[in-house]
Chains A and B, each alone.
Chain A
């Protein structure tokens, strides 16, 4: 019983190790594909290698791994060359030329199989989803250890990818970002582009057998796309992509055992899930954080509207009590208004005396800055844009929330000498700190 469990664990670990290495190899070159907007190339190459496999089989008369590998690699590189040629000399858009080339090559592959290789067990299942679950049944001896053959074919590819990226870091960086400049400096962008395509072909072909075409395509694109959502540095992007690739191998294997499904399929779903999480929760580009940022801005605007309103009341000289309910209604009502009021009291910008709200010293300073922005903007609109008086309040009402200190002083210089706004009210002087806090 115990040995049985052990064997299962060992198998799981091998599957995770091979899966992780395959995914990482794909993710590394995939980052560059994503950045160069060439993501589709992974898809193209992984389909187009089919005729290469068949031709290699027909020529060698065996399913020898070495021949198959060379055949597939040649087909992969040919895809890259055909795509580029069609794009450059045929005047076909790049994505369209990829689409034409890889579907055509895939079709040729299917015809060749039907014609020459129908006897071979090249089953569709394996092409789509790989044989990751079976890797421990094909062991080879390596330095005295029995290791899965899959490991021996993917590990060198991973090493080649890592070595290439380390060695040509600077060249890949400049030619991905600015191919024109790279070329004028003597780093021929075209050459580096082909080098990347060859690496993609190599990686796709080596990964194919283990994880199948769907996971290869997913791993070439999704970890890179996920990482791009999470970081603004290339180095960080590559690390995160590898992390995502490895995590989806672990998660995928766990899910596959848990629900007894195909491992490569589960890994594909896992990486998709990780992308979804990043798209929702990425600090800068995520849906949730964008919503949160918008909500914070809305809240700030309502807060500032309350401050502005109280300031104007004070300015009238006949202070009249402003109950919280009336204030909330005046700034649009609803939960947002009440939240803003609670916020203002918590920040000690507004205090409550009896039932009425009034500004604290801090609140008054802040409101003064706001009103200053508002009236400077009105003055500016009248003086420089020649707008009539009844056209300037509303734009100023919107703009006042977004005028920071630099713009405020710029406006003040432009309308220099004006101390009253177009409606005849005084423009408050700059605040004591001379700076408005932005949050």
Chain B
């Protein structure tokens, strides 16, 4: 049996020694659309950044297809939050999409005709080939999000991590993005999506991960996205965890 796309074993993540995610144990099956759901400050983005090595993990182990991230980089795609980059940056839409191919190229090799063709094809897939030469500031929010998705397609990964791709987009873009995610699933890709809109979870995702500083539940949407689990996720944080985190930060412990 092949190793699952993502396996997290007892992972704890801390910012400035203050834990924000506690003891996460998680296995994500291949070829599913997985929603990561939880209230603000639940650590959803943190979970993505930690497994991708963008922020240090205090303890625990993360493996992709049975191996550490550094050895599986090229199989992993990432779509950061749209607000995380400077849209005034002097690059065109096709420049940004082409960045998706950089990982496969590795250091020093320049993108060539093949990469340009990939970028063009991916832009077509998100339905904006005519905007290839625009500077990215001139796009609407939904178009910017689709540029990010085109870039992810260009990464040609097997497992994707997307940080709120549906946030602040219009209904048409939302439908287009969902269509793309479903296409990726049909091709056997695994996609993890940080998601805010509880109303659409059931409709969009096969699996959900309910998160609020700790793992509340994870599994097939039908069985997992229940009122009881939602109550646990959104019904107030466990104040003990907050207090404990604060105590760790201050370097204190109670007797």
Docked CA distance A61–B53 (Å): 47
Q: Is residue B171 contacting chain A, with contact meaning CB distance below 8 A?
A: no
Docked CA distance A170–B91 (Å): 12
Q: Is residue A233 contacting chain B, with contact meaning CB distance below 8 A?
A: yes
Q: Is residue B110 contacting chain A, with contact meaning CB distance below 8 A?
A: yes
B73 nearest in chain A by CB position? A186
Q: Contact: B78 with A233, CB < 8 Å?
A: no
Give residues of chain A (162-209) contacting chain B, Cβ–Cβ below 8 Å: 167-171, 173-174, 176-178, 180-187
For B95, what are the chain A residues with a Cβ–Cβ distance below 8 Å? 173, 234
A170-B105, A174-B99, A187-B102 are contacts. A180–B73 as well, Cβ < 8 Å?
no
Q: Contact: A180 with B84, CB < 8 Å?
A: yes
Q: Is residue B251 contacting chain A, with contact meaning CB distance below 8 A?
A: no
Per-residue CB contact flags for chain A residues 223-258 toward chain B (1 = under 8 Å, else 0) read 000001001111011000000000000000000000
Q: Contact: A234 with B85, CB < 8 Å?
A: no
Q: Contact: A178 with B110, CB < 8 Å?
A: no
Q: Is residue A388 contacting chain B, with contact meaning CB distance below 8 A?
A: no
B78 nearest in chain A by CB position? A184
Q: How far is the CB of B212 from the nearest CB of chain A, in Å?
A: 24
Q: How far is the CB of A97 from the nearest CB of chain B, in Å?
A: 15
Docked CA distance A177–B102 (Å): 13
Q: Is residue B76 contacting chain A, with contact meaning CB distance below 8 A?
A: yes
A-B contact count (CB 8 A): 77
Q: Contact: B103 with A186, CB < 8 Å?
A: yes
Q: Contact: B102 with A174, CB < 8 Å?
A: yes
Q: Is residue A35 contacting chain B, with contact meaning CB distance below 8 A?
A: yes
Q: Contact: B89 with A35, CB < 8 Å?
A: yes
Q: Contact: A187 with B91, CB < 8 Å?
A: no
A35-B89, A181-B99 are contacts. A170–B78 as well, Cβ < 8 Å?
no
Give residues of chain B (67-125) contacting chain A, Cβ–Cβ below 8 Å: 70, 73, 76, 78, 80, 84-86, 88-92, 95-96, 99, 102-103, 105-108, 110-111
For A335, what are the chain B residues with a Cβ–Cβ distance below 8 Å? none
Q: Contact: A184 with B76, CB < 8 Å?
A: yes
Q: Contact: A237 with B106, CB < 8 Å?
A: no
For A228, what are the chain B residues with a Cβ–Cβ distance below 8 Å? 88, 90
Q: Is residue A91 contacting chain B, with contact meaning CB distance below 8 A?
A: yes
Please classify how large the interface on chain A is, using the bins under 10, 10 to 19, 20 to 34, 35 or more. Answer: 20 to 34
Q: Contact: B110 with A170, CB < 8 Å?
A: yes
A180-B80, A185-B73 are contacts. A234–B91 as well, Cβ < 8 Å?
yes
Pick from A35, A180, A185, A234: contact of B103, CB under 8 Å: A185
Q: Contact: A233 with B90, CB < 8 Å?
A: yes
Q: How many of B's residues come within 8 Å of A, CB to CB?
A: 32
Give residues of chain A (14-56) contacting chain B, Cβ–Cβ below 8 Å: 35, 37
Q: Contact: B73 with A178, CB < 8 Å?
A: no
For B1, what are the chain A residues with a Cβ–Cβ distance below 8 Å? none
Docked CA distance A170–B111 (Å): 8
Docked CA distance A169–B110 (Å): 8
Q: Contact: A178 with B54, CB < 8 Å?
A: no
For B92, what are the chain A residues with a Cβ–Cβ distance below 8 Å? 232-233
Docked CA distance A173–B102 (Å): 10
Q: How far is the CB of B21 from the nearest CB of chain A, in Å?
A: 18
Q: Contact: A232 with B80, CB < 8 Å?
A: no
Q: Contact: B73 with A177, CB < 8 Å?
A: no
- Which 6 residue pairs of A and B lie closest in terms of their CB atoms, listed nearest first? A185-B103, A232-B135, A184-B78, A184-B52, A180-B80, A234-B90
Can you list 29 contacts pairing A with B, beta carbon distance less than 8 Å?
A: A168-B108, A170-B102, A170-B111, A173-B95, A174-B102, A176-B89, A177-B89, A177-B99, A178-B84, A178-B85, A182-B102, A183-B54, A184-B73, A184-B76, A184-B78, A185-B73, A185-B102, A186-B70, A186-B103, A187-B102, A187-B107, A228-B88, A228-B90, A232-B90, A232-B137, A233-B92, A233-B135, A234-B95, A236-B90
20 more contacts with CB within 8 A, not counting A174-B102, A177-B91, A180-B78, are A35-B86, A35-B89, A35-B90, A167-B108, A169-B110, A170-B110, A171-B108, A173-B95, A177-B85, A178-B99, A180-B54, A180-B80, A183-B52, A184-B78, A185-B103, A186-B70, A187-B102, A231-B90, A232-B90, A232-B137
List the interface of chain A (C-beta within 8 A of B). Answer: 35, 37, 91, 167-171, 173-174, 176-178, 180-187, 228, 231-234, 236-237
